[in-house]
Structure 1
């Protein structure tokens, strides 16, 4: 696994997910994001790192379209246009992020073994916070990392 930073697209699995999004037809991109999140939420056993990294990336894409969301600025993110995601993906993305940072998650375990683990959890928490804000909220959950 290649990981070079704490951002949602700063690892090989998320970069591959972005490439997959670029390769499918534009009208299939939301379905790929939805499927990625559902697969993560429905994992009953140990959540493997690749699935966790893809879920974080998918959630970041949804959060980028929310008020207070940070645009995806990584050169490893998708290059092709994304649809405006359906509002029902927000709670699904929150649930997926909760699964990624919970026990029985390889991605969380791997990050927790590093000095950057708390910073990674903070980054995931910021994405989650954006997803939970109401559409009329003036709050901004992001802060200097």
Structure 2
């Protein structure tokens, strides 16, 4: 695992994905992000680490366009602008992140053995929370008897 930190682009695969996005024509960038997410949602047998790393990076780019999201700024993330990503990518990104941390994910197993594994899982949960914020509980109506 060519990983130097826990950020979405802090590994060789995600950094290469960012470079590929930068080199692609603008109209191909959204389909590239979609494919990265789809590969994580529909793995052949189990989710291999490179597909998971690309999916986390893609999900971070989707989350960055959400009003509550943080910019996907990283020395290794894309430096070229991205198009406005369609809203349906949020649901796909949520599904991809769920697969990334699932039992049948190689990367989850690797991070579970690492010292920073709990921090990595917390960061993935944070990305997911931006994409799928919990619904606040509704206030109970006062009952007048």
Q: Deviations over 1:63-122 (max 9, x none)?
A: 001021010121100011101100000000000000000011111111000110000000
For the aligned residue pairs, the C-alpha RMSD in angstroms reads 1.3
Question: Alignment length, in residue pairs?
Answer: 135
CA distance in 2, matches of 1:36, 1:93: 9
In structure 1, the partner of 2:74 is: 74
* Larger Rg over CA atoms: 2
CA distance in 1, matches of 2:72, 2:37: 18
- Does residue 96 (structure 1) correspond to residue 93 (structure 2)? The answer is no
In structure 2, the partner of 1:19 is: 19
In structure 2, the partner of 1:3 is: 3
Matches within 5 A, 1:1-145: 1-133=1-133
Please, which runs of 5 or more residues in structure 1 have no aligned partner? 138-145
- Which TM-score applies when normalising by structure 2? 0.90
Q: Deviations over 1:10-40 (max 9, x none)?
A: 0101001101111110011000000111111
SS in 1 for 2:83: coil
- Which TM-score applies when normalising by structure 1? 0.90
Shift of residue 8, structure 1, vs aligned partner = 0.3
Would you identify which runs of 4 or more consecutive aligned residues in structure 1 move more than 4 Å?
Answer: none
CA distance in 2, matches of 1:133, 1:100: 18
SS in 1 for 2:17: helix
Q: Deviations over 1:46-67 (max 9, x none)?
A: 1110000000000000000102
